[in-house]
Structure 1
């Protein structure tokens, strides 16, 4: 069985590769990617049987990666540090996953389950059902934000705006803020279905948290926390229309 590994942390892909070589010699590793965007451009030509896919990655999440593929014709084993909502969805849809830090016995069991279902042709339906359930749950779900030893769960309705800092994003909620290792584009995708809008290359705002909107000085918003957010010229018309 031919496999591809996708995780933004090089140490994780390197460690998983060693573990697979040791306990799952039947798995041939075609490639390991630390960028899901690069993996997306090559996954079709590689045509793997199995993909080990991290969930939380700065460029895009594992779910966003799968959502970008027209038809998932490979098996998937998700790899996660811990995401309560994701794990619940995996169990409901009978999708395989392993937890970080990876235990070799759990890795072997997950691979054996995949091998035992290699003849089944319902993988696409399972993944589609999983993605649909994750999208359906976003209305009630909180945004998981990594902390030192796990995740904090921020109610999405509490988020005022998000600001890009290169490969990081600063999330402002209530009187607090948190800098996380994830690009703004990935946060934007996670918040689809909620009332957030990209008003500038560097800003994603919760339109429900806008206190006032101004046309002068190129156009800007005053948010609930009294912060001024400038709008780009190309986005100004869209924002005015949405807030009328």
Structure 2
């Protein structure tokens, strides 16, 4: 971990020295700075880094609205040093209470939680960027394929696996189940059946002879379960045609 940026705020010198020594000896590769004013923080927050602000929180000297503004910034997590009688145990993704007296073990456990939070945020951000680029990652046992979402005709469930059928005729098998992709893919993908997830953009016709079916642009016909017909009515605004 080489992108941890630690900012100490309002800490007394014994604690400043403790944390400076702790991060200096750790293998986190962290940068460390001590500040006496909340107004200076923004100048030291590094874009793209995992910023951890360790603060001795005292309402007498702190402008709370400055902290609220900073807490909304991306890549910033607060660690509040407190006496046990002053704060109850509290832990949130962006705010953590570290009770005195603290130890290296306590700090190590807390940092582990914070680093996992940053990893999760990075993953979600990267996934969101891929979604914005209209790209889906499809993992298999030995590779990850990047596929344009518009090129997906439909997905078929195969036990705990999912088979993607593409416009090109190619089939890709994912090691993830179809329920995951129902959540990942946008509103254009319709769960027409417990075994199928269909791209609505590629549906060319609906038939109601001997059941309910949808035909795709590659002439494949997919069954639609009775309890899923409502999603079709809503997506294609069929009720307005009656």
For the aligned pair, the TM-score class normalised by the smaller chain equals: 0.3 to 0.5
With a CA cutoff of 8 Å and minimum separation of 6, indicate the structure with the bigger relative contact order. Answer: 1
Structure whose CA Rg is larger: 2
Alignment TM-score, normalising by the size of structure 2: 0.47
